[in-house]
Amino acid sequence: MGGFGQYLVEKGVLDSEQLEEALRFQRVYGGRMGTVVVDLGYLVVEELAEYLSDASGIPLPPPDWLESLDPHALGLVPPPIVRRCQALPLRIEGGDLHVAMLDPTDPEKLDFLAMASSRYVVPYVLPERRLLYWLEVHCGLD
């Protein structure tokens, strides 16, 4: 029983009973462990974001980048690719494309985004609920 749930137990955020409850919930309803622990009330989204960043070693995007995206960055990646990669293009800096992602450790998605944009991709981690919110706000994706 590894993964993010075990990480939360090791950090003292969840005990073993809470992890078991989260795993049962996940088996029945699906979803990512982070979303499940928020749904069960063990964490709030802000805490989840910090733990995801710590666990992955990948930073959170600057909040002001989420508020106002670079339209050129957003235009580099077509909506079907944004949806497929669960990624939100944020900024272009120094020729690199900075992207908030649900799973910024997935090399296949990173490569796909790099090929689609013809840029090196700098990933940031973002919890599922936040990413879905910003994808709806900026891209009109449900």
Domains of the chain by start residue, with CATH: 3-43 (no CATH), 63-139 (3.30.300.160)
Q: What are phi and psi of 125, to 5 degrees?
A: -95, 145
What pLDDT does 4 receive?
94
Q: What is the mean pLDDT of the chain?
A: 94
Alpha-carbon span 85 to 5, nearest angstrom: 23
pLDDT at residue 142 greater than cutoff 80: no
Residue whose token pair is 């490569």 = 111
- Average pLDDT for 12-22: 96
- Average pLDDT for 38-56: 96
Specify the pTM: 0.90
Residue 50: both structure tokens together: 């910090």
What pLDDT does 77 receive?
93
Model pLDDT for residues 67-122, shown as the tens digit of each residue: 999 999 999 999 999 999 999 999 999 999 999 999 999 999 999 999 999 999 99
DSSP label of 99: E
Residue 140 pLDDT level (bands cut at 50, 70, 90): confident
Cβ contact 123:108 at 8 Å: no
Cβ contact 118:106 at 8 Å: no
What pLDDT does 141 receive?
80
DSSP string, 103-138: -TT-HHHHHHHHHHHTS-EEEEE--HHHHHHHHHHH
pLDDT at residue 48 greater than cutoff 90: yes
Alpha-carbon span 46 to 17, nearest angstrom: 23
